């Protein structure tokens, strides 16, 4: 085999493997750009996932468009545009579902916290049987009065009084 034939064969192999090498380089770039996303937070992870989804679907759409259009650039561009639109639609729907789930969980958490505080307050207000205090309720009549141009009708108020328990002799 001559030097020219060897070079021809090398170039033929390079032309055959060129699309595969580009795909491997792009895949390596995406993997390196999105590594460690699980530890960097939900927002960064979502952005990386969105980027990867859009990139893969755009590249796939361009590849399919080029294959179906017999290598025409217009077909590849149309396929890439369709892949981009599909990728963005998928990202929007996924992110919307996650936002809805987060809002629902946040509201449930707030509701549970309020209920928990209510029951804690109720438990704190209960008297213990052996706490050394007793409780009494006193009704106090409030007469009618006129103050600052406001007339208040007569009413009865109830006052709760807690006093030390008297020791039995």
pLDDT at 136 over 80: yes
Q: Residue 152 is part of which domain span?
A: 133-164
Residue 133 CB contacts under 8 Å (≥ 6 apart), including other chains: 127, 162, 163, 164, 165
At 156 the pLDDT is 94
Residues 121 and 137 in one domain: no
- For the segment 84-121, what is each residue's pLDDT rounded down to a tens digit? 898 888 888 888 888 888 888 888 888 899 899 988 88
At 157 the pLDDT is 94
In a domain, 169, yes or no: no
Phi, psi of 151 (to 5 degrees): -100, 125
Min mean pLDDT across 2-16, 77-91, 131-145 is at 2-16
Residues 95 and 25 in one domain: yes
């Amino acid at each position: 085999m001559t030097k020219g034939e060897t070079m021809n064969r090398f170039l033929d192999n390079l032309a055959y493997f060129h699309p595969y090498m580009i795909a491997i380089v792009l895949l390596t770039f995406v993997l390196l750009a999105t590594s460690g996303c699980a530890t960097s937070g939900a927002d960064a992870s979502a952005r990386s996932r969105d980027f990867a989804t859009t990139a893969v679907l755009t590249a796939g759409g361009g590849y399919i468009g080029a294959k179906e259009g017999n290598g025409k650039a217009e077909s590849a561009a149309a396929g890439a545009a369709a892949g981009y639109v599909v990728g963005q639609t998928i990202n929007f729907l996924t992110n919307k579902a996650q936002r809805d789930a987060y809002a629902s969980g946040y509201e449930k958490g707030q509701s549970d916290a309020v209920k928990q505080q209510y029951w804690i307050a109720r438990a704190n207000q209960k008297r213990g049987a052996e706490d050394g205090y007793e409780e009494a309720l006193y009704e106090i009549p409030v007469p009618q009065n006129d103050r600052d141009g406001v007339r208040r009708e007569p009413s009865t108020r109830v006052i709760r009084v807690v006093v030390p328990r008297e020791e039995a002799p």
